[in-house]
Structure 1
Amino acid sequence: MTTTLTTEATPNPGPVRRTERALAPDLARGAMLLFIALANAANFAFAGQPGLDPTPHGLERVVNFLMATFVDSRAYPVFAVMFGYGLVQIARRQGDAARRVLLRRNTALICFGLVHATLLYFGDFLGAYGIVGILATLLLLGRSDRFHRVVLWLWGIQTVSATVIGVLALAGLRGGDSGLTNTPNASLEATSYWQSLQHRLAEWPVHTATVVPFIVIVWLGIWAARRRILEDPAAHRTLLRWTAGVGLGIAVLGGLPYALVAAGAVTFDAGTVEAMARLHAITGEYGGPGYVALFGLLALRLRGKRFVAPVVALGQRSMSGYLLQSAAWLALFSPWALGLDGTLVAAGAAIGVWLLSIGAAQALGERRGPAEALLRRITYRPGR
C-alpha cells in the first residue's frame, strides 16, 4: 500500500512564509555553515582534501584534531538530512502540485550547482542535491510508512559495517612513519582564474558522482519529516536525546584514530592510515542525524533568545551564505589572488566570513537572500 505524496497535506501553494518556519532547521543550517566554512576554507588553503596540514605544529595540532573529530565528513551530512526534511515540508504544503514543484526546484538546483562549480568551487553540493531531490521525488516521497522503515534497516546495516571496519583497523595497527596527506585538486592549484575554471568543469562531475550516494542520508531526513520531529521537538525529546548521543558518539569515536594521526600525535604505516580514513568517512555520516538532533534539543532551550536571531537569519538564507563563502575562498586562497595559506589563517578566515555572513543575513530583515529569491522565483513561477 502506498500513501499520497503529501501525507496529511493541507495544500497551500507558494513558498513557506517566514512566520511558519520551525526554529530547529534554520538554527541547524545557520550554525553548521560555520563548519562548512572551516572545511572548505581549509581545502582552498591546502589546495586539496582533506585540507589539513600534514606536519602541524603547536596550535595547528589542536585545530587539526578538532577538525578531524567534529568537522570533516561530519558537517555536510547535516545538510543532507535537512534537505530530505525540506522535501517533505514542501510536498506537504504544495498538495497535488508537489511533484511538479519539486521537480522544477531540483532541476534548478542542478543548474545552480553547475554555475557554482564552474565559477567558484568544484566541491559543489547543490548539483548533487538537485539530482538526489529528483530521485527522491520520483522514488521515495509517495511511499508508505512501512516502506520508509527500510532506511532504518539500511542505517543498521551500515552501523554493523562501520563496526567491522573499526575492529579491522584497530586489529591491523602497524607502526610506521606515514601520516596524513592531502590529495591535490588542480583547480585549487591553478595559477590563473581561467585555468581554474577549466579544471573545475572537469572536476565537478566526478565530485558530484561521488556524493550522490548520500541519498541514504537524505532518506533519513524524509523519514524524520514524515513524523514532524523538528516541528515539535518537545514531543520527540527522548528520540532526539538518543539520536544526538548515539550519532555524535559514533562520529567522534570513529573519527578519533584519524584525528590523532591528523594532529601528529601518532604515525602508522600507509595501510593503517588508509583504514583509519575509511572509518573516519563512514562514521562521519552519523554526524548528520546527531547534529540535527542536538539542534532540535537546543531549539527547545533557545526559542525566543535574541542572540540566536542572526544565526537563524543565516539559516533561512543558507544557500546565499554558502555561495558567499565560495566567493570568499576563491579571493583569499587562490594562488592567482591573495594566495593565503596555513591552518590558522584558514580557520580565522572561516570564522570571519561566517560572522560576516550572519551579519549580512540579519541586515536583510524581511528580504530573502538573493539565491533563495531566484530559486523560489523559478520554482513557484509567480507570474503563472
Structure 2
Amino acid sequence: MTTTLHTNGPVARKERALAPDLIRGAMLLFIALANAANFAFRGQPGLDPTPYGMERVVNFLMSLLVDSRAYPVFAVMFGYGLVQIARRQGDAARRVLMRRNVALIVFGFAHATLLYFGDFLGAYGIVGILATWLLLRRSDRFHRLILWLWGLQTVYAVVLAVIVLTTASGGDATLTNKPNPSLAASSYAASIADRLAEWPVHTATVIPFIIIVWLGIWAARHRILENPAQHRTLLRRTAVAGLGIAIAGGLPYALVSAGWLHVSAGTVDAMAFLHALTGEYGGPGYVALFALIATRNRVTTAIAALGQRSMSGYLFQSVAWVALFSPWALGLTGTWPALVAAVGIWAVSVSIAHRMRGAGPAETALRRFTYR
C-alpha cells in the first residue's frame, strides 16, 4: 500500500509577509548595479581602473556598498524561503523542495547558457539540495551552531583586518578587472561557448555561501521576518553590526578603487580578500535594515511587487544587459552607461511588476514544476 503526499501549493499573495518581498525587490537594484557594471567593463569587479572626477565617487560607493554585498542578501533570503516552504508543505516538504531545487539548477543552466555566466540560480539549486538533506530537519540546538560559526568568522575577519592594515605597503598599483571572455565575445554564438566553460567554475566558487543560507534558515525558524516588529532590537543590532563590519572591511579596498589610496599590488590583493570576506555581513545587515523599514510602512507596494516576482526581475535584467552592453549588440561601456542602465532597468521592472496581477513568468514556470 502506498501513501500519496499532497502538496499545499505556493503561498497565496494575501498570505505573504511584507518584509521578505520588500527586501528582494529593493536589493534587485543592487544586483542590477553590480551586474550592469560587469557587462560594461567586460569583467569583474566592474569598476573603472582609472577613475576621474565623479567616477571616483561611483567606484567608492560601489565597492563599499554593492560589490560582494548584494548577493549575500539573496543567500539569506533563499535559506529563509526553504524553511517557509517546508513549514507550509508538511510531510511533502522534502519532495517539493527537491523538485524546486532541481528546477532551479535547470533554470540556472539555461540562464547561464543563454544570457549570463554569473548566474546564481544553479548554485541556489545545488545548495538547496544540500540544505534540504542536511539542515532542515535538525533541532534548534543544532542550528545554533551557525551563530557560533559566524562568531568565529568575525574574529577571523578582525584578525585579518589588523594584519592587512599593519602590513600594507605603499605603491602605485591600480584596480584591474578580471576579464570574462563571454562578456567580450564578438558574436552571440561565441558568447554561448564561453559561458558554457565559465558557468561551472563560477558556480563551484559560490557554493560555499551555504553558510549564509544557513543563517537564513536559522532566522526563518524564529519567524523574524514574518514578525519584524517583535524583533526590532535584534534587527537593529544586526543592521548596525552587519553593515558596520561590511563597510569597515570594505573601506580600504574602496579607497583604492577610487584612486584615493595608493598601495602595492600585494596589498591590493589582501584588501580585496578582506573586502570579499566582510561583504558576507552585508547579507544579514541589509536584510535587517529593510525589515526595519517594513515595520514603519515606509514602502511602496511596487517594490514589494517586484520582490514577489524577483526571479523574473533577475532574468529580465540579464536580457537587458546582453542587449545594451554586448559588443555584438549596442556595445555600451563605461561607468555612467552602467549606472544609468542599472537604475533605469530596475525602475522599469518595478513598474511592470506593480502592474502585473499574477505571478511573473519565471515564478509561474517554477511553481508548475514544483507543485505539479
Fold conserved (TM > 0.5)?
A: yes
CA apart distance, 1:97: 0.2
* 1:380 alignment partner in structure 2: 371
- Residue 74 (structure 1) aligned to one of 66, 69, 72: 69
- Residue 171 (structure 1) aligned to one of 155, 162, 166: 166
Give the secondary-structure state (helix, strand or coil) at the position aligned to 1:178: coil
Q: Contact between 2:7 and 2:371, CA under 8 Å: does it hold in 1?
A: no
* 1:368 alignment partner in structure 2: 359
- Distance across 2 between alignment mates of 1:126 and 1:267: 37
- Distance across 2 between alignment mates of 1:120 and 1:135: 26
Q: Establish whether residue 352 from structure 1 lines up as the match of residue 344 from structure 2.
A: yes
Deviation digits for residues 330-364 of structure 1, max 9, x if unmatched?
A: 01001111000010110000000000000110111
- Residue 129 (structure 2) aligned to one of 134, 146, 149: 134
CA apart distance, 1:58: 0.9
The ranges of structure 1 where at least 4 consecutive aligned residues each deviate by more than 3 angstroms after the TM superposition are none
Deviation digits for residues 313-337 of structure 1, max 9, x if unmatched?
A: 0000000000000010001001111
- Distance across 1 between alignment mates of 2:193 and 2:152: 40
- Distance across 2 between alignment mates of 1:262 and 1:274: 12
CA apart distance, 1:263: 0.5
Q: Which moved more, 1:159-168 or 1:213-222?
A: 159-168
- Residue 328 (structure 1) aligned to one of 320, 329, 334: 320
Give the secondary-structure state (helix, strand or coil) at the position aligned to 2:329: coil
- Residue 48 (structure 2) aligned to one of 32, 35, 53: 53
- Distance across 1 between alignment mates of 2:290 and 2:183: 33
CA apart distance, 1:12: 6.8
- Residue 12 (structure 2) aligned to one of 17, 21, 30: 17
Give the secondary-structure state (helix, strand or coil) at the position aligned to 1:292: helix
* 1:230 alignment partner in structure 2: 225
CA apart distance, 1:70: 0.3
* 2:273 alignment partner in structure 1: 278
* 1:8 alignment partner in structure 2: none
* 2:300 alignment partner in structure 1: 308
- Distance across 1 between alignment mates of 2:57 and 2:340: 14
- Distance across 1 between alignment mates of 2:58 and 2:354: 29
Give the counterpart letter for 1:194 in structure 2. A
- Residue 203 (structure 2) aligned to one of 184, 199, 208: 208
Give the secondary-structure state (helix, strand or coil) at the position aligned to 1:121: coil
- Distance across 2 between alignment mates of 1:252 and 1:330: 31
- Residue 117 (structure 1) aligned to one of 112, 115, 136: 112
* 2:3 alignment partner in structure 1: none
CA apart distance, 1:255: 0.4
Q: Contact between 2:10 and 2:371, CA under 8 Å: does it hold in 1?
A: yes
* 1:299 alignment partner in structure 2: 294
* 1:35 alignment partner in structure 2: 30
Give the secondary-structure state (helix, strand or coil) at the position aligned to 1:268: coil
* 1:260 alignment partner in structure 2: 255
- Distance across 2 between alignment mates of 1:179 and 1:172: 18
- Distance across 2 between alignment mates of 1:50 and 1:174: 23
- Distance across 1 between alignment mates of 2:7 and 2:187: 48
- Distance across 2 between alignment mates of 1:157 and 1:208: 25
CA apart distance, 1:234: 1.1
Give the counterpart letter for 2:322 in structure 1. L
Deviation digits for residues 165-196 of structure 1, max 9, x if unmatched?
A: 11111011101000211000010010000000
- Residue 44 (structure 1) aligned to one of 39, 43, 49: 39
Give the secondary-structure state (helix, strand or coil) at the position aligned to 2:36: helix
Give the counterpart letter for 2:12 in structure 1. R
Q: TM-score, normalised by structure 2?
A: 0.98
Give the counterpart letter for 2:359 in structure 1. R
Deviation digits for residues 212-238 of structure 1, max 9, x if unmatched?
A: 000000000000000000000111110
CA apart distance, 1:308: 1.1
Give the secondary-structure state (helix, strand or coil) at the position aligned to 2:172: strand
- Residue 186 (structure 2) aligned to one of 170, 184, 191: 191
Give the secondary-structure state (helix, strand or coil) at the position aligned to 1:175: coil
* 1:317 alignment partner in structure 2: 309
Q: TM-score, normalised by structure 1?
A: 0.95
CA apart distance, 1:266: 1.3
Q: Percent of aligned positions with the same letter in both sequences?
A: 74
- Distance across 2 between alignment mates of 1:155 and 1:266: 30
- Equivalent residues, number: 367
* 2:215 alignment partner in structure 1: 220
Give the counterpart letter for 1:103 in structure 2. M
Q: Contact between 2:122 and 2:203, CA under 8 Å: does it hold in 1?
A: yes
- Distance across 2 between alignment mates of 1:19 and 1:154: 36
